[in-house]
Chains A and B, each alone.
Chain A
Amino acid sequence: MGGLGLREVWRFASRGITANRMRSSLTVLGVLIGVSSVIVLTAVGNGSALAVKQGIEKLGTNSILVMSSGGGGRFSRGANSNAKGLTLADAKALNDPIKAPDVKTAAPILNASGTCTYGNLSSTPQNITGTWASYFEASNSPIDKGYYWSNDDVVAGRPVVIIGTTVATDLFGTDSPLNQVIRCHGQSVTVVGVMKSKGSTGGFQDADSIVIAPITFVQRSMSGYGSLSQIQVEATSASTTTAAMDEVTAIMSAQHKIKAGANADYRVLNQASILASSTTSSHTLTVLLAAIAAISLLVGGIGITNIMLVSVTERTREIGIRKAIGAPKSAILTQFLIEAMLLSLLGGISGVALGVGISHFTVLGVKPVVSLTSVLLAFIVSALVGLIFGGWPANRAASLRPIEALRYE
């Protein structure tokens, strides 16, 4: 009935919008701000969550760290008479596929300090780490250039090192450090590999300022044969980390003869648990930001209702004329609905464009990550906003009795 082509209704509706450009563009602006803030704010939330997650993942989600709680490392002796430092025997005991099936590898870490030099250039790494070859796997340390030294090098105590990118840049600039002999802690060592950059994991620590050598070499020529700084353990997978931690705790308690309930002289730390708690808090942030954005979209929707009500009131007479010359209710309804939808979709499309555009920049120190879901959601919601918030005024317009509409001045 009526038989009015959609194109025709479309034309009427777009004429309604262009008839009052200022008002229409302000309405569109309301939706635009709503949609773009939904996209940008959720992108910022996602971005910060991702940044935290990546920072922690660089340390390795499977990583478990065993530390001495008696004062730690080389200085443990005397600091706490009851506390036993971590020993190579502890590290060996943790590499037990029967007692610790969820532990992939465990590597001792013995940190020494000192300056490294090459020619007249020098670098002071945060740590000169002595360890086993399994450390590279346990600590999630991929190599960029060269190769890993092996357990043969550990057994023989060879002076071979793998250096972090900070040390490599300090000593060699852009030149290749491979097979060059540098001096660390007064010892001549050969660089066999360069680690891939881990980036800064959190302010004060530069994970790339490191030199890694066979533990036997570090013990012999730098630190002596004291207790270990840490033991780096890797679980078989992220999901078995909790089980691996229990196994590590059991083995360490047996090694150190800690009775159940007594205070342990070691601590077992896990990156996954840190990751879990930080993910929860960043998720909360995203939800909070999305809620704020949703409110602004709602305000945009109320703007549409307002403008459509004004438009209906202002054109009451026109509606009366249209009805008098034969417009069916459906034609009036569609006209005003399309008008509202057009306004909100215009706002939606430009809002998506603006939101995605803004998200290319760094916002508040966070690199936003636009999720397709938020774009789609914001767009669909903006269309629905037009349908719902425009629907009521449109229905009011369509339900006007022609005689009353015509009398309206």
Chain B
Amino acid sequence: MSQGSPLVVKVDGVTKVYGQGETAVHALRGVSLEIAQGEFVAIMGASGSGKTTLMNILGCLDIPTAGDYWIRNLNVAELDEEQLSVVRSQLIGFVFQSFNLIPRTSAAQNVELPLAYQGVSLSERRKRAIKALESVGLGDRSRHEPQELSGGQQQRVAIARALVTNPAMVLADEPTGALDTQSTKEILELLHKINETGSTVIVITHEEEVARAARRMIRLRDGQVVEDTTWVA
């Protein structure tokens, strides 16, 4: 743990309840945690433990029922929808289990997309997208469309898309869940490399192997943090 680094994420007593009354589901029951700049964190838990809910809240895709969430110095609860889209655009890079690339759109254009929503000029975007694709080892596949790429390659395009904006943190939700062993190894190495360049990486997973790639492991059970371990790799 990089002591003294500024905080990227501060979650304080966050709860999340779906539904109302007797059918209400308590996905999170008061989670508090802090993640500093440059950390590589794995959030673990069985299905139903609340880890996906936590990931959605961290990614500003969902809002907590109660409790506070600061990303950098911004209190997310005080932001409106337009401001949230700016936070997602500038501070967060997403990597999903199912890749979530836009179909019938080339790798380079997929990677460019977050920059387009930031208003970066076309030539600048193109340059940065190619650079990001090169950094994930896909410099020669920039014109390929998602359906022409393997799962591992698609996930690397998704990582390039998450990296291209230089976000404060990369949020990866089961990034290797749909991949074979070899691709899993490559993706984990890639996440490691990204973390070494100074980016905060948060991986949500239920696989021990993936969690071992991180330097800190937060385990959730029934919507609460039950373990928070940091180790030196």
Best-surrounded residue of B90, B113, B122 (most CB of chain A within 10 A): B113
Interface string of A1-29 (1 = CB under 8 A from B): 11111001000000100010000000000
B110-146 contacts to A, CB under 8 A, are 113-114, 116-119, 122
Known: A5-B119, A325-B113, A403-B56. A15 touches B105 (CB 8 A): yes
B161 at the interface (CB under 8 A from A): yes
Please determine whether A329 and B117 come into contact, CB atoms closer than 8 angstroms. no
Partner of B94, one of A1, A3, A317, A325: A325
Which residues from chain B contact A320 at a C-beta distance below 8 Å?
Answer: 100
A324 at the interface (CB under 8 A from B): yes
> From residue A325, how far is it (CB to closest CB) to chain B in Å?
5
Interface residues on A, range: 20 to 34
B89 at the interface (CB under 8 A from A): yes
A326 at the interface (CB under 8 A from B): yes
Inter-chain CA distance A322–B86, complex, in Å, is 12
Q: Which residue of A lies closest to B165 (CB)?
A: A326
Please determine whether A406 and B105 come into contact, CB atoms closer than 8 angstroms. no
Inter-chain CA distance A330–B80, complex, in Å, is 13
Which residues from chain B contact A206 at a C-beta distance below 8 Å?
Answer: none
Inter-chain CA distance A326–B116, complex, in Å, is 9
Which residues from chain B contact A3 at a C-beta distance below 8 Å?
Answer: 117-119
A351 at the interface (CB under 8 A from B): no
Please determine whether A2 and B100 come into contact, CB atoms closer than 8 angstroms. no
Inter-chain CA distance A330–B89, complex, in Å, is 14
Partner of B88, one of A1, A4, A5, A324: A324
Please determine whether B105 and A329 come into contact, CB atoms closer than 8 angstroms. no
Inter-chain CA distance A326–B86, complex, in Å, is 6
A143 at the interface (CB under 8 A from B): no
Known: A1-B82, A324-B88. A318 touches B103 (CB 8 A): yes
Partner of B102, one of A8, A322, A329: A322
Which residues from chain A contact B105 at a C-beta distance below 8 Å?
Answer: 15
Please determine whether B85 and A2 come into contact, CB atoms closer than 8 angstroms. yes
A368 at the interface (CB under 8 A from B): no
Please determine whether B56 and A8 come into contact, CB atoms closer than 8 angstroms. no
A104 at the interface (CB under 8 A from B): no
Inter-chain CA distance A15–B89, complex, in Å, is 22
Partner of B61, one of A1, A5, A328, A406: A406
A301-343 contacts to B, CB under 8 A, are 317-318, 320-331
Please determine whether B117 and A2 come into contact, CB atoms closer than 8 angstroms. yes
Please determine whether A329 and B85 come into contact, CB atoms closer than 8 angstroms. yes
Best-surrounded residue of B85, B89, B104, B118 (most CB of chain A within 10 A): B85
Please determine whether B119 and A2 come into contact, CB atoms closer than 8 angstroms. yes
B148 at the interface (CB under 8 A from A): no
Inter-chain CA distance A406–B103, complex, in Å, is 14
B22 at the interface (CB under 8 A from A): no
Inter-chain CA distance A320–B101, complex, in Å, is 11
> From residue B161, how far is it (CB to closest CB) to chain A in Å?
7
Which residues from chain A contact B64 at a C-beta distance below 8 Å?
Answer: none
A390 at the interface (CB under 8 A from B): no
Known: A406-B61, A406-B100. A328 touches B82 (CB 8 A): yes
> From residue B216, how far is it (CB to closest CB) to chain A in Å?
24
Please determine whether A4 and B85 come into contact, CB atoms closer than 8 angstroms. no
B62 at the interface (CB under 8 A from A): yes
B77-104 contacts to A, CB under 8 A, are 81-82, 85-86, 88-90, 93-94, 96, 100-104
Which residues from chain A contact B116 at a C-beta distance below 8 Å?
Answer: 4-5, 8
A72 at the interface (CB under 8 A from B): no
B59 at the interface (CB under 8 A from A): yes
Partner of A331, one of B93, B100, B104, B117: B117
> From residue B144, how far is it (CB to closest CB) to chain A in Å?
16
Please determine whether A403 and B114 come into contact, CB atoms closer than 8 angstroms. no
Interface string of A147-182 (1 = CB under 8 A from B): 000000000000000000000000000000000000
Inter-chain CA distance A321–B104, complex, in Å, is 14
20 A-B interface contacts by CB (under 8 A):
A1-B85, A1-B86, A2-B82, A2-B119, A3-B118, A4-B117, A5-B122, A8-B116, A317-B100, A322-B113, A323-B61, A323-B85, A324-B59, A326-B86, A326-B114, A326-B165, A328-B86, A328-B117, A402-B61, A403-B61
Interface residues of B (CB under 8 A from A): 56, 59, 61-62, 81-82, 85-86, 88-90, 93-94, 96, 100-105, 113-114, 116-119, 122, 161, 165
Interface residues of A (CB under 8 A from B): 1-5, 8, 15, 19, 317-318, 320-331, 401-403, 406
**Given known contacts A321-B102, A324-B59, what 20 new A-B pairs fall within 8 Å (CB)?**
A2-B86, A3-B117, A4-B117, A15-B105, A317-B100, A320-B100, A321-B100, A322-B117, A323-B61, A323-B88, A324-B88, A324-B94, A325-B93, A325-B94, A325-B117, A325-B161, A328-B82, A401-B61, A402-B61, A403-B61
Nearest 9 interchain pairs by C-beta: A326-B89, A3-B119, A328-B85, A403-B61, A325-B114, A326-B117, A326-B88, A321-B100, A403-B62
